Amino acid sequence: MENFGEVIKEWTRNEIEIKKLQERLKNIRSKNKELSHDLLIHIDENDLQDNTFNITSLQKKISIKESKITEPLTFKYLENCINIYFDINEEKDNKYHKENLLKFIKFKRQSSIKSTLEIN
pLDDT confidence band for 2 (50 / 70 / 90): confident
Same domain, 119 and 68: yes
Q: Are 71 and 31 part of one and the same domain? A: no
Confidence of residue 100 (pLDDT cuts 50, 70, 90): very high
Q: Could you tell me if residue 110 is inside a domain?
A: yes
The per-residue pLDDT for 1 is: 76
Q: How many domains is the chain partitioned into structurally?
A: 2
117 and 86 in one domain? Answer: yes
| Whether residue 81 sits in one domain with residue 112 | yes
Cβ-count burial of 100 within 10 angstroms (0-12 exposed, 13-18 middle, 19+ buried)? middle
- Write out the E strands in 28-59: 53-55
**Shared domain check, 83 and 38:** no
Mean of all residue pLDDT scores within the chain: 93
Range(s) of the domain holding residue 24: 1-48
Q: What's the pTM value of the predicted model, to 2 decimals?
A: 0.65
Edge-to-edge strand list for the sheet holding 53-55: 53-55, 60-70, 111-119
Task: Determine what percent of the chain is predicted with pLDDT higher than 70.
Answer: 100
